Structure 1
Amino acid sequence: MIFICDKTKLQDAIAIAQKAITGKSTMPILEGLYIEANKNTLTLIGSDKDVSIETKLEADVLKEGKIVVDAKIFGEIIRKLPNSEVKIETLENNSIQISCEKSVFNLVHMNSEEFPGLPQINENIIFGIPQNLLRNMIKGTSFAVAQDETRPILQGILFEVENSKLNLVALDGYRLALKSELIDTNNTINAVIPGKTLNEVAKILEDNECVVSITFTTNHILFNLGNTKVISRLLEGEFIKYNALLPQDYKLLVTVDKQAIQNGIERASLMAKDGNSNLIKFDINDDAIVITSNSQLGKVREEVSANMQGEGMQIAFNSKYLLDVLKNMEDGEVEMELTSSISPCIIKNKNAENSKYLVLPVRLVK
């Protein structure tokens, strides 16, 4: 195998494929990056069995072939080379030579035959969605994915398509995040994708309206971004019936400036770092939210103007959960729907219907 290509383009392709290499696999071959040179195209694949990323770039292929190289060291070598053309060729003793200007590296490679093949997916495109839209939906839900491994299904994000609408849903037992967008499809889909996969997909997606094509099989999802494909296994099991968790009624509706309440909570949370509860208290009355926090560090009082419809209320929250929600909301004003000090709080954008968040309060010991 012999090929010549631009260093920067090769570095970018390595960075994309490497996102699938976790270093946690028991198979040494999966520490490697699969490289195939064929018809003036380089194909790079990284995989950890659960997620595989394939990306292609142009190259001047003088002799076709395929190898697997240690992803970490190969990536470091290419990154530190001068910004020039790189020539890579295989030598007889299971090694490759990497040349760029006056730099020459020899690196041992592995047998490409041992690298597991990608799952075969028939790409009869199920639907497409603009990259920036999907990226925002992932960003707006992935923070609520469960981190503990006791309920594996909650380590994923529900991908639900019905009535030409895509819903992404994540929940971890303390909060729930739901993002919805209308899409052009008549299909009905219900699948759970590992949260870590979608986070890597979000890093590859660009902030433009180019369409990413999405194909589902029984066990896998494929994201096709043109030169790059991401294939992930789906999580097994039933996702929680999230609609049943969302209260339909409320007794108090509070409309508040998003940035004002976010700033108030951030300042109040400085005193709430005692223990892990990050406890802050809301006293909602007289068209204002008084935010307080007491701990061994001291105490704080913040007041934020708000519009109230309903009876006043006292309620406490983990400040981290509220801030995670507010940081992902796009509207200038947000609405909080409250029922009691022990009932879930629903937070929505005032002027946009595409997001809904649920945060459980912290019960106060009286």
Structure 2
Amino acid sequence: MKLICNQKVLANKIGIVQKAINSKTTIDLLKGILLSTENGQLRLTGSDSEIKIETTLQAEIEEHGSIVVDSRLFGDIIRKLPDSFVQIETDSNSNIYISCESSRFTIKGLSADEYPKHQDVHVENMSTIPQAILKEMIKQTSFATSQDQTKPVLMGEMFEVSSGNAGMVAIDGYRLAVRSSFIDGLNDDIKVIIPGKTLVDVNSLMSGEGDIKVGFTDKNAIFIMDDTVIVTRLLEGDFIDYKRLLPKECNSRVRLKTKSLLNSIERAALLSQSEKNNLIKLSIKNDVMVITSNTDRGNVYEEVSIELEGSYLDIAFNSRYIMEGLKNIDSEEIYMEFTTNVNPCIMKPVDDIEYIYLLLPVRISSNI
């Protein structure tokens, strides 16, 4: 293999495929990037057992070929080279020669013949989704996926579509995030569970402009953005029937400014950061919400102006969970709906954005 390509473009493409490489794997080939040439392009592939990412870039191909190169070393070298053209050449002993201006590297590669072959996944009918919509849906839900490997289904998000209404749902046992949106042209009914890590990677690759193509088979999800293709294995199992968790009524409803509440809770959480549960207490009365935290390090008192409909209430939460919800609500004002101090609270924007964040409270003790 012998080719010449642009250093900056190559460095960017390496960063894309590295998202699919698990550095903890014990298989050397899967620590590497597969380089291959075809039709005036250099193709880069990164993969593990769950996800494969392929991307291409234009290159001047003098000799066709393929090789596997250590992902971390190759990426570090290319990123440190001058902003110029890079020449990459291989020999029959799997040596890789990298040249750029006055820099010369020789590193050892691995034969591409033994690189794991993935079955090509083809979807006849790909759906087109505006990147801005999908990006927002992932951002507002992905933080609520579970990190508990004993519950693999909850480490993913349910993506469901019915009559053009698309919903992304994440739940970890303590909170639930649901973001819905009508997407024109999304006509097929869909109900799949996509790994949360894959969605975070997809989100990081989207610019927020233009469209992304999305398709599903029985076992895989496929995302296509320009010259990058992501194929991920769907999670198997039954997702929680989240609609049964949503309270059907509330006894107290509060309207308040999102940023004011977030700022107050961030200050109140300063004292509880070292505590196991990061507890804060909300006391709702008339036109004010009082936020307190009492710990061995001291205590804090905050007030936020509110509009209250319904009963007074004292309730406590894990401050980190409530802050993460608030940070992902872009609306200026929110509603908080309560039933009792042991039932879930629902936070949602005042405007028409279809977003629900449900959070379980913590039982109040006398020292909070």
Q: TM-score, normalised by structure 2?
A: 0.97
Q: Does the 8 Å contact 1:20/1:51 carry over to 2?
A: yes
Q: Does the 8 Å contact 1:346/1:357 carry over to 2?
A: yes
- Moved runs in structure 1, 4+ residues, more than 3 A? none
Does structure 1 residue 91 correspond to structure 2 residue 91? yes
Does structure 1 residue 78 correspond to structure 2 residue 75? no
Q: Secondary structure at the match of 2:20?
A: coil
Q: Which residue of 1 aligns with 2:159?
A: 159
Long gaps (5+) in structure 1: none
Q: Which residue of 2 aligns with 1:24?
A: 24
Q: Does the 8 Å contact 2:67/2:94 carry over to 1?
A: no
Q: CA deviation at 1:38?
A: 1.5
Q: CA deviation at 1:26?
A: 3.3
Q: Which residue of 2 aligns with 1:195?
A: 196
Q: Which amino acid aligns with 1:172?
A: D
Q: Which residue of 2 aligns with 1:363?
A: 363
RMSD (CA atoms): 1.1
Distance 1:236 1:92 in 2: 43
Q: CA deviation at 1:206?
A: 0.8
Distance 2:100 2:300 in 1: 59
Distance 1:162 1:105 in 2: 54
Distance 1:49 1:274 in 2: 37
Deviations 1:72-105 (A, max 9, x none): 1111111111111001111232201111111111
Q: Which residue of 1 aligns with 2:63?
A: 63
Amino-acid identity (%): 42
Deviates more, 1:30-39 or 1:17-26: 17-26
1:142-153 to structure 2, matched below 5 A, reads 142-153=142-153
Distance 1:353 1:341 in 2: 26
1:119-138 to structure 2, matched below 5 A, reads 119-138=119-138
Q: Secondary structure at the match of 2:306?
A: strand
Deviations 1:313-357 (A, max 9, x none): 111111111100000001100000101000100000001232101
Distance 1:122 1:148 in 2: 32
Q: Secondary structure at the match of 2:179?
A: strand
Q: CA deviation at 1:274?
A: 4.2
Distance 1:242 1:204 in 2: 29
Distance 1:124 1:166 in 2: 20
Distance 1:154 1:92 in 2: 47
1:202-221 to structure 2, matched below 5 A, reads 202-208=203-209, 210-221=210-221
Does structure 1 residue 266 correspond to structure 2 residue 244? no
Q: Does the 8 Å contact 2:123/2:217 carry over to 1?
A: no
Q: Does the 8 Å contact 1:125/1:213 carry over to 2?
A: no
Q: Does the 8 Å contact 2:336/2:346 carry over to 1?
A: yes
Q: CA deviation at 1:68?
A: 0.7
Q: Secondary structure at the match of 1:19?
A: helix
Q: CA deviation at 1:27?
A: 2.1
Deviations 1:186-229 (A, max 9, x none): 21111111111111111111121x11111101111000112000
Distance 1:364 1:88 in 2: 64
Q: TM-score, normalised by structure 1?
A: 0.98
Distance 1:26 1:94 in 2: 20
Q: Which amino acid aligns with 2:164?
A: S
Q: Does the 8 Å contact 1:89/1:96 carry over to 2?
A: yes
Deviations 1:126-169 (A, max 9, x none): 31111121111111101101111121111111111112111100
Distance 2:348 2:323 in 1: 14
Q: Which residue of 1 aligns with 2:232?
A: 232
Distance 1:66 1:54 in 2: 14
Distance 1:141 1:248 in 2: 22
Q: Which amino acid aligns with 2:207?
A: E
Q: Which amino acid aligns with 2:186?
A: T
Q: Which residue of 2 aligns with 1:303?
A: 303
Q: Does the 8 Å contact 1:39/1:64 carry over to 2?
A: no
Distance 1:70 1:234 in 2: 27
Distance 1:156 1:50 in 2: 12
Q: Which residue of 2 aligns with 1:178?
A: 178
1:290-329 to structure 2, matched below 5 A, reads 290-329=290-329
Q: Which residue of 1 aligns with 2:353?
A: 353
Q: Secondary structure at the match of 1:259?
A: helix
Q: Which amino acid aligns with 1:205?
A: M
Q: CA deviation at 1:304?
A: 0.4
Deviations 1:6-30 (A, max 9, x none): 1000101111011100122232210
Q: Secondary structure at the match of 2:271?
A: coil
Q: Which amino acid aligns with 1:195?
A: G
